[in-house]
Structure 1
């Protein structure tokens, strides 16, 4: 072997061979690492897309819930307005009926007062006739 300095040509060749073997291993390792990175990138890309999709879906579902709630509330307001109109109509009818009953009641009170007055007059008349005839009236 040819010696150059402290190293021999054989040692240098061995190192060079080992270095080239290491380089080919590194390039294989890099390609396998690259494919792993590509797979990881693909997986992480898919995960990121799924996450983005979920991030969009939550606000969309929230908006849909709010819209449904709003529609339900509008429908309930509409039903209550109809119910309110019905109740107001019934209240008006009751007021009319009450006014009619009050008028009838006033007529009946006037008749009671008139009949009471007529009864008193008749009682007085009978008393006077009885006294004139000598009957005893209680």
Structure 2
């Protein structure tokens, strides 16, 4: 019986050694898995942080570009308003000059109709001096118009 007891006890020791080895192996695998999971989580956090940093930089760049575009639009709008005001002044001057030209054409038509013999030669000399461009000093007055006169 002693030999059977010793062989039973030896097999129990081996079982207990195998169970301890198995438990140690499982603990070691568990620790490796835990370390691997921690490393994976750390890499994931680093990727998320890099992505967040990239997005933050992109937001800053887009805000800068937006500000530049707004500035350019503002400058272009100011130029447009300035040119529009100048065009209004020029349109007013064209209208005034067209009116003056029409009046002068009417005067010339009237004078030509009356100069054809109605007044005779006594009136021809004053009419010629009237039509002389050097004597038309009253027509050499500047046309003044400003942008604030015209409102849209």
Shorter-chain TM-score category? 0.7 to 0.9
Q: Give the distance between the partners of 1:55 and 1:20, measured in 2 at CA.
A: 51
Q: Is 1:125–2:107 an aligned residue pair? A: yes
- 1:84 equivalenced with 2:72 (yes/no): no
Q: Aligned residue for 1:11?
A: none
- Matches of 1:127 and 1:119, distance apart in 2: 12
Q: Given the alignment of the two structures, is residue 45 of structure 1 paired with residue 27 of structure 2, yes or no?
A: yes
Q: TM-score, normalised by structure 1?
A: 0.75
Taking the aligned partners of 2:4 and 2:66, their CA distance within structure 1 comes to 89
For this pair of structures, how many residues does the alignment match? 117
Unaligned runs of 5+ in 1: 1-18
So what's the TM-score if we normalise by structure 2? 0.69
State the partner residue of 1:15: none
Q: Please say which structure displays the higher CA radius of gyration.
A: 1
Distance 1:26 1:68 in 2: 62
Q: Does 1:103 align with 2:85?
A: yes
Is there any run of 5+ residues in structure 2 with no aligned partner, and where? 118-152
Q: Pairwise CA RMSD of aligned residues?
A: 1.9
